[in-house]
């Protein structure tokens, strides 16, 4: 499956199946409308030895926690920002069963995306799959993070280079730049609530689960089927000539935001869901 086909599948899930739904963004913590969410501020220097020790410590801690994420169910709210295309937000139900079963469910669901938001987590679980190199310290959204280059050991695989900004106290990923052989480079911002049990959807026992994600990529990678493109542009003309960018995507870029309300973590919801489905 080539790059256009992969993103066509992903976008058909986002736009094609749920385009008629009216999803209310209120109540969702999509802290992603401000372009400054990508900014890194300042840097602090550690010795090379200390950097590497911190990188290995944080990656070991992260991999250990991620290994516990096996069966997930969530309500997901999706908002897209594509040049010259106006698309309404949508809500759906998401299931993930490690290592690679992922589904977004609605009454009209027909296709499954090959790429899914959990793929990075799955790759990082296997510490033997990569080498981690500490590169420095930077602040992301005013939080001090260690910059870590993750180099896949299998140089001929799909993953080529991953750069992570990891919070030095919580070991949470705050930002990622992922370069893949068949997908190019995608940036992602990870956003978290405080983890309080009083916050709906928060998972204090699974701190690596983000409450929202923001993906940014070249708009040229988001080609749509001709029929779907025509429908979207027709809807756009009917709505007027408004070409505002709801997620503040810069020129030539597209953004997709996903907000999560985690319903079930490691309680078998995804296993039951996939068990009731025909094998992919």
Q: Does a structural domain hold residue 127?
A: yes
Q: Does a structural domain hold residue 258?
A: yes
Phi, psi (deg, nearest 5) at residue 41: -120, 125
Binning pLDDT at 50, 70 and 90, where does residue 120 land? very high
Which stretches of the chain are DSSP H helices?
3-11, 48-66, 119-125, 226-238, 269-275
Q: Does a structural domain hold residue 280?
A: no
Mean pLDDT, the chain, as a whole number? 75
- pLDDT score, position 88: 73
Share of the chain above pLDDT 90, in %: 36
Q: What is the pTM of this model?
A: 0.77
Residue 225 has pLDDT above 50, yes or no: no
Q: Does a structural domain hold residue 32?
A: yes
CATH of the domain at 271: 2.50.20
Q: What is the DSSP letter of 34?
A: S
pLDDT, one tens digit per residue, over 171-208 is 999 999 999 887 788 899 999 875 444 444 555 557 78
Task: Give residue 17's domain range.
Answer: 3-275
Q: Does a structural domain hold residue 271?
A: yes
User: Alpha-carbon distance 163 to 70, whole Å?
Assistant: 24
Q: What is the 3-class SS of 181-223, one letter each residue?
A: CCCEEEEEEEECCCCCCCCCCCCCCCCCCCCEEEEEEEHHHCC
Binning pLDDT at 50, 70 and 90, where does residue 57 land? very high
Binning pLDDT at 50, 70 and 90, where does residue 144 land? very high
Say how many domains are in the chain.
1
């Amino acid at each position: 499956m080539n790059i256009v086909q992969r993103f066509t599948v992903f976008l058909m899930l986002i736009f094609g199946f749920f385009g008629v739904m009216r999803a209310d963004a209120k109540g969702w913590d999509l802290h992603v409308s401000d372009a400054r969410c990508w900014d890194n501020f300042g840097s602090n220097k550690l010795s090379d030895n200390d950097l590497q020790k911190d990188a290995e410590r944080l990656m070991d801690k992260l991999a250990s926690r991620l290994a516990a994420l096996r069966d997930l169910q969530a309500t997901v709210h999706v908002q897209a920002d594509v040049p010259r295309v106006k698309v309404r937000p949508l809500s759906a139900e998401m299931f993930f069963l490690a290592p690679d079963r992922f589904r977004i469910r609605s009454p009209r669901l027909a296709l499954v995306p090959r790429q899914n938001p959990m793929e990075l987590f799955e790759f990082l679980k296997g510490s033997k799959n990569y080498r981690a190199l500490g590169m420095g310290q930077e602040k992301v959204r005013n939080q001090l993070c260690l910059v870590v280059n993750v180099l896949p050991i299998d140089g001929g695989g799909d993953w080529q280079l991953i750069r992570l900004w990891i919070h030095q106290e919580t070991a949470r990923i705050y930002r990622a730049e992922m370069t893949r052989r068949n997908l190019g480079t995608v940036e992602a911002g990870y956003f978290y609530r405080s983890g309080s049990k009083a916050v709906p959807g928060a998972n204090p026992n699974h701190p690596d689960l983000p409450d929202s994600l923001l993906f940014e990529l070249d708009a040229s990678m988001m080609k749509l089927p001709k029929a779907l493109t025509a429908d979207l542009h027709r809807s756009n003309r009917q709505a007027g000539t408004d070409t505002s960018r709801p997620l503040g995507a810069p020129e030539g870029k597209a953004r997709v935001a996903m907000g999560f309300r985690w319903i079930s973590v490691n309680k078998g919801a995804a296993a039951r869901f996939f068990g009731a489905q025909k094998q992919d």
